[in-house]
A and B are shown apart, each in its own frame.
Chain A
Amino acid sequence: MNALTKFSLLVQGRFGRKRLRRIGLGSIPFIFLLTLWQMNTTFEWLAPVFIPSIGGVIDAIFILQSDCGGVWDILSLDNTCLMTTHILSSIGRVLLAAVIGIPLGIIFGILAGMNRLISTVLEPVGVFANSISGIAWVPLAIVWFGVGWMTTLFIMLNTVFWLMFFNAMLGTRGIAKVYEQSVLTLGGSRWNIFIQVYLPGAMPSIITGMRMSLGFGWRALIAAEMIGGDSGLGFMIFTAAEEFNVEQVFLGVIVISIIYLATDHYLLGPLEKWTIHRWGLTWKPT
């Protein structure tokens, strides 16, 4: 056994064959894109003002962070640490909208799923709100709240809350009646049924709703920051574009996708595994 085989086996043992295979296959398109990107720079197909070099984009990080004085400056959102300030500001807004919008959407969605009256009242306004997609609210929101975090929060809540609402409602309606009946006959109250039947029973839809609302909410945020924000990655991209600073535009776009990928992988993935996979509520590829 040569050293390379040994190393390969070690890596496989450490991470698991299946997982490595998945990561490997999933990386192919990215590697392809990166290669194409590097080739563009090498062979000078398109000028750097349109597509910057990989090195240029990495340099942009250091330029944005040039005067940054360390961890404390990063955390206090100091203007010398521009990139991290924009990242943290965007993440903070997503978190705020998620922390408010997701639980509220779940609660009202489940209530509408269990109760005809509530759904009759809320469904039409929900359809109305969903038809005006996030970004279309921006001009009005700016008039109402001015440029800043209230505007972006409003836009995102509009997206997050209603997506959660509809998913939780449909999920609740899809739960077999017999679960509710069985808990009732065991002596359960309405509250018990809410927590022990509807919430877990609607979990597949709730997780889909979280995927959708984080995805669409994140996009709405970037758009809102471009027009109605005073900081954040959307704002950063927009101002960079106005100065024809393509490196920073590229950097912003890449950072956005990395953050979203990480959320999906480290937050939604484990939640899915911990709930619906464990309960056998999903179709599992074999």
Chain B
Amino acid sequence: MTAKLVVQGLSHHYPDEYTGVSVHALDDINLEVNDGEFVAIVGPSGCGKTTLLNILAGLLRYREGNATVDGKKIDGPGPDRGVVFQEHAILPWRTVAGNIGHGLELQKIPRQERQDRVAEYIELVGLVGFEDRYPHELSGGMKQRCAVARTLCADPEIMLMDEPFAAVDAQTRITLQEELIRIAIATKKTILFITHAVDEAAFLGDRCFVFSRRPGRLRETVHINIPRAERNWGDIAANPEFVRARDRILALVREEVIADDR
């Protein structure tokens, strides 16, 4: 397997305009994500997960270290990397279909082809019948499905997902997680999935990077050797590999939380 995404010695400081004291958000991150791999990143809130994702998306400039996709240095956003944001980021003034087809529209794909692809992804995320609705008419879970479909439909090579299911209810979250596995099987995309939920990380990831408290460092990589076809909530809870991985991630996260209390 080849490394799709490589991060070397990446650190980030946010300058503070008022106090003059800079916030040290990321510290010397080194990691690789392989082509077609599903990687989860877990870490306590405020540890720099969103910062890392914004850098990889090309939305945030970085000076210390290096980040490359297919050997090319990341310098600004690009169609090879799609992002599903932490907040609901679909445009309120576009319909579901308009949002999902937005990437294709910007790529100037002809209308007919666009409509076909949009219909395909609406089907994939289960939003059939809601094509002409506006986001304010959708539930939180449906909005997030729409956001996922929008990113998928633009056909990026890498999907960067920032706690996309954090704001939806438990029931919907389980469904969305299983759907995402299905999508990963169907599209073979490289996925980097940020979360603070340990279960979610162990359920979704082929590997899981556990981050320390701020400044975020990569503490440990946990491997989760479970075939994608076996990843559904009905069976996985009894899978010893899942239990082992989850407990390991949980232990690491708890150490961070305990360290925080001291």
Which of A's residues lie within 8 Å of B, judged by CB?
176, 178-179, 181-188, 192, 196-197, 200-201, 203, 275, 278-281
Interface membership of chain B positions 93-116, coded 1 if the CB is closer than 8 angstroms to chain A and 0 otherwise: 100000000110011000000000
| Smallest Cβ-Cβ distance to B88: which chain A residue | A178
- Nearest B residue to A196 by beta-carbon distance? B91
Q: A176-B87, A196-B91, A201-B93 are in contact. Are A278 and B154 (CB under 8 A)?
A: no
Q: Determine if A280 and B137 form an interchain contact, defined as CB atoms under 8 angstroms apart.
A: yes
* A235 CA / B93 CA spacing, docked (Å): 44
Which A residues are CB-close (under 8 A) to B246? none
- List 12 A–B pairs whose Cβ atoms lie within 8 Å, in order of A's numbering: A178-B89, A181-B83, A183-B91, A185-B58, A185-B59, A185-B83, A186-B79, A187-B79, A187-B107, A278-B134, A279-B136, A280-B135
Q: How far is the CA of A186 from the CA of B77 in the complex (A)?
A: 8
Q: A186, B154: Cβ atoms under 8 Å?
A: yes
**Top 10 closest pairs, chain A to chain B, by CB:** A280-B136, A200-B93, A186-B103, A182-B89, A178-B89, A279-B93, A187-B106, A185-B83, A187-B79, A184-B77
Residues of chain A with a CB closer than 8 A to B136's CB: 279-280
Measured CB to CB, the nearest residue on chain A to B84 is A182
Asked if B102 and A280 sit within 8 Å, CB to CB, the answer is no
Which listed residue (B82, B91, B107) contacts A185, Cβ 8 A? B82
Known: A178-B89, A181-B89. 15 other contacts (CB 8 A): A176-B89, A179-B91, A182-B90, A184-B59, A185-B59, A186-B79, A187-B107, A187-B154, A196-B91, A200-B91, A275-B93, A279-B93, A279-B134, A280-B134, A281-B92
A184 to B106: give the CA distance in the assembly, Å: 10
B164 CB to nearest A CB, Å = 12
User: Hey, which chain B residues are within 8 Å of A197, CB to CB?
Assistant: 91
Provide the residues of chain A in CB contact with B57, threshold 8 Å.
Answer: 181, 185
Contacts A186-B154, A280-B134 given; does A178 touch B106 at CB 8 Å: no
Partner pick for B85 among A178, A200, A201, A280, CB 8 A cutoff: A178
B259: min CB distance to chain A, Å: 31
B231 within 8 A of A: no
Q: Within 8 Å CB of B137, what residues of A?
A: 280
Closest A residue by C-beta to B136: A280
B234 to A: closest C-beta gap in Å? 34
- In the complex, the chain B residue whose C-beta lies closest to that of A197 is B91
Which chain A residue shows the least CB distance to B59?
A: A181
